[in-house]
Structure 1
Amino acid sequence: MMFSCQNRLRSHLLLFSLLLHIAWEVGSGQVHYSLQEEARHGTFVGRIAQDLGLEVGELVSRLFRVVSKGRTDYLEVNVQNGILFVNSWIDREELCGRSPVCSIHLEVIVDKPLQVFHVEVEIKDVNDNPPVFPTKSKNLFFSESRPLDSTFPLEGASDADTGTNALLSYRLSPNEYFSLDVQTNEELSQSLSLVLRKPLDREETSRVNLLLIATDGGKPELTGTVHLLIKVLDVNDNEPVFDQSLYKVRLLENTANGTLVIKLNASDSDEGSNSEVIYSFSSDVPSTVQNKFKIDARTGEIRIKGQLDYEEAKSYEIQVIASDKGTPSMSGHCKVSLKVLDINDNAPEVFITSLSLPVREDASPGTVIALISVSDRDSGANGQVTCSLSPQGSFTLVSTFRNYYSLVLEGLLDRESVPAYELVVTARDGGTPALWAETSLSVGIYDVNDNAPVFEQPEYTVFVKENNPPGCHIFTVLASDTDALENSLVSYSLVDRQVGERLLSSYVSVHSESGKVYALQPLDHEELELLQFQVSARDAGFPPLASNVSLQVFVLDENDNAPAVLPPHAGISSVSELVSQSVAAGHVVAKIRAVDADSGYNAWLSYELQPEVGVSRSPFRVGLYTGEISTIRALEESDGPRQTLLVLVKDHGEPLLSATATVILSLVESGLSVKASSGIARQSEVVDMSKENVLGDVNVYLIIAICAVSSLLVLSLLLYVALKYSTPFRAVYSPGKPTLVCTSGMNSWSYSQKRGQRICSGDGIFKNDLMAFSPNLPSCPSSEDRSPQPELGSAPSCKQNNSPSKMSATTAEIHFSVAAAVGTGRNVKKAKEEGSTGSPGPPQKYQSDSL
């Protein structure tokens, strides 16, 4: 019977261990190894790198490491060959106690790129612990009056091993009085009892020496023994008897100190002092029971002493003795089996095992930022932990294994918008009420150079007066970069281009740190009206980013050029003009043509006739703005045969500049008309021949000029389209060129060196600037055909030419020569047809701030 119970117990234990092993394998990690305890240092466990699919040669470069959850590094990995080996002595009983399954959980971390693997090493038990009895010897008292088959409970042995290694069997040394009874309950707990098989006779045998032997199921078998000394007592024939031999109690672990566990009751059929019962714990009760419980010797009440903790001990077995006061004393025994019930009294714990900070703002979604593990000492639903992350957004938690999570980047990052994230990881268990724990995690964002410098404006307009001192500061550009550290350090430079035949850097420079723009040489409005260029702002990041801004530098004109009289009336060597004495008042006899290299108000010319010494009243006058010399009365003989007129040409600048022109008029008498006519005819033929030659040359030059201007215009349009759609911004160079200006009601033309916009102005209408026209010398529009006066700063309009274009220096010279030739070739008849009376009023003052 004893052997059948042992076999049934062994089969139950084997089945239980198999089920636990299968359940553990189903829930294990990615790689599972098994290892026997007490293995020597260096013992091979497994080729962990190969089993995880990692290249052995990359373990060092990828920062391969193993992290153990416990405090002792029992296992280690050789990063040279990827072999997992035993690093220190492993005692399964010390590591896991009597747990049926014992494992060491490892985290294998590879940082480049970050990968996490979970490895489980199962520690298998070896039979290294023999069964141990609580004491080496024990004294038992049996009354000689005890009936046959009466029992006496014994304390069994304990084995620190598990499984079959802890499966104990008992045997008693051979004797004629006692046998051993082993009972196994449904909880696989064994109860030992001595059974009296032969009546005792104190007078025959007062003592019986027995040896109780416990043998475990390991290979090889280990044994433990206890010496039993049985003393046969005489008198007091009845022992106290408990209501039950086994009492079962269930208590919550938060039961208060002093709470009643159970009240025992034992009865004795004797009388007097032999029936008075005293309760006590058996001497075999372990100290953990004595520290947690107390028993009232008189009433048999067992109460809690201290605090129960499910996580410390899940159950207790208390052996209680009820002894009477007889002589000799007799005792009865019972067992109290107390099971502690778990409550949710432990909050989860959160551990951050690996953290990769700061996070680059260009990190791709899916990047692992941190590894987080959680644990809860409770059991069942109370120990099931779930994790959550707040606030929701760019990061998320991904469950990778039991109670293991990865903090993963979910969206895109922008350090300029959010420089850092304050995250809170909350772990909550499944108890009622639920307990939780929080841990804060500050995730800083590492800046990358993803923002180019930005200027305050896309384009700047700057006004600088000509003749500025070299090196003067004309403007400051400023760009800002939203990046951090060296990625936000901005330096400035010119986008160098050709300006005519010279480099842009010969005109201006920019300070690399402050962005101040300096003019390196005096600027000349007549040479360069508009200087367009770009300044580049570049940060110090890698790779560097840059942006450009356009600057338009308008060179404002100053009155630094005096008027210049055009031939044939320039200087004192002037051509003589023939004038008939019979001309009527208002007849135009000559015209002064002058040009001023300045522009605008500084180039607006006026003419004034200087009085001749000794002449009281001259018969001639000069148009204030036309330069046309005409008679103011009929000529008389007293006027003399020859008149020398000195004309003063003045501009309207500040300070005023002027030039003089000399006109010689030869008066022809009307009485000598035939002779004079023949002479004049002959002279006219010579002059006409000369004029024909000149006009022939002029026509050739005119054709060449028109072809050149047309070619340059087409080439300029093609170049403008190509530059606008294919190349960066180029500096603009605009050299000076002379143009014709319609200035008065006399419908005649004067010259100006203005390179900017010009305005065609008629009688009574004042313009802020002059308008440039082509050299075909059209007549000025009448007052009915004039367009409305444009607003200040807007482009002027004229029916003959609404969109004057800029010309190069060579084209301007040809333009100037053709205009001069055509102007000087006009005859008197043409002058009469174009002449008119009246003169316009003075022009409006030039406003430099209206450009």
Structure 2
Amino acid sequence: MGHWKPKNILFSIILAICLYIRNVSGCNIVYDPEVPPGPILHSWIYDTFRGNFWQNQTSGIAGIQTSATSAGGYFNIGIVDSLYVLSTTKNFDLYEETETADTTLVTSTFRCTDGSTSRPFPVWINIRDTNNNPPIFQTPPGGFVFTVTAPLAPGVEITGCLNNIVVRDIDLTTDKIIFELEENPYFEIEKEIFKSQATPKEFRAILRTKTFIRSIPEPITLTVSATDHDQTGDPPRTTTTTITIIGNPEFELPEEPVFSQTFYLADYTSDNRVVLTEPITLKNGYDELVKFDIKGDFSANFELESIPGHANQKSIRVVNQLPSDVLRQTNIYLIVTAERELTSGASATIVLRLPEDLTDRAVLRFTQNTYIGTIKSTGLIVDSISLSSGYDEDIQFLLSGDFVDYFSISAYKNVLTLWLDNPLPVAATEKGFIVLEIEARRERAISGWTSVVIEVIRQEIAAPVFTQAYYRGAYNAESGLHFNQNISLSHGYDETVTFFLDGEFGSLFNLIELDPNSLRITNSAPISNELIHINRQFLFTIVATKAGALSARSAVSIDVIKGRPNVKPNCRCRPRSATRASQSQPSLATAITAEDQCE
């Protein structure tokens, strides 16, 4: 590119000094009397200047014998009317595009009028940088587009391999690019990227995840900016483009189902119907593969049915009438569930209020048949509980139900306060809700009942996430299994996590523990020749389970090498393209490719 290396510069200086003769016979340059002459002259121009930038009177010079400039041909040396003139050429427009040095040397010898030849005359030219060029994204049409395979652990780099965000800035003193990414909950960008000696005019941004990403059902488009930083003192320049992250359409985890309500209220009518205050529906994660069900002590008496034209809205139909002894209760409770493969599922509680006996003239009655409350880190929160009729100073209030020993009640006139006296045990938080019954009683009166349904909001359990989306090995009948990767979790590991192999071919292999969070796949017995003959690869899944959290899955592909083994080393990059797992492998959580992109 025409750069002057230090050894070339030193050689030129020594040569010029050796050849320099203070008084030259024949011809020379007429120096400024106030500036003593030296072996090398210096000049400078701004990178934006075009034209003549240095000239001096000559003596006895008939013309230029030889001249040497940098390889780019950026400068012209000439004698015009006895003046030695240095000027830029058209090629100087490309100086910053191709060069990195801010100095260059031009040398000439003169043909003297007496027929002799002068000594070499060197001039150092310093190019002073200005911030006249903005940083430019090397962007494909439509901006940068990255296709990724979820789930993704925090800190996973999206750029790298063949996916790069490159900014080019040709100014000579640009030393770094400052990147800014549009605020979002999923991705972040390395803020400062410094100049690289290998590619001094190109700056490669680093884009990575900043949280666990379960799936990317819709493309995410973000704006990214690049601002240059240099030594000119000029105002910085900024350019922008877009980054679009697309989830791999060949494999995408379904969204977690979430019911629209934690509790649904319903009335059981005297003609044996169930009337919900609102339809049972999923606010997130619904598709045609979600299966709804009713569970609980009285689940055999009811079934869910879709509201016509609204597959995601369910009502409850009575298939077996409730017996009379049950109808004497105030409420019963049902659990509605939504299950979907590759999710942890969802559940909600149905509080079914039973009809009152109109011939029973209850004296004591609460304002509500059911009160709803929550328990979270700040304590118990529940609506005010009060009697609407039958209050007397002799009334006793009795508390019963799940985990009743952890609660107490106090009364002021007809208003009750429910207290949480001690932290709940693990069993209560795992269940997710608590049902308490409050009875109001006194002599010569019919007791009143109400229920308090309390949702227990527990802290999120860190879900396990495998370090890699898939693992790959090979098997040969002669040399056996070749699998050199350590399998581990990048997120959510603790001593409660259990691992196992799932899928049709998972039984052919075993897991051995190297360390608590480090496993290796082995096989204890040779695989039959029949299986080797009819299969090109063995696909199965490694599963990590943890109580209260979504299970993690990572695909494993063991290529069948027929003949002499020639095992491909492990690749460090993501798949180039993916193919959907076959229906015979429904648990395979990640697609496997035949060709990888490697660094």
TM-score range, shorter chain: 0.3 to 0.5
| Structure-1-length-normalised TM-score | 0.27
Greater fraction of residues in strand = 2
| Structure-2-length-normalised TM-score | 0.36
Greater fraction of residues in helix = 1
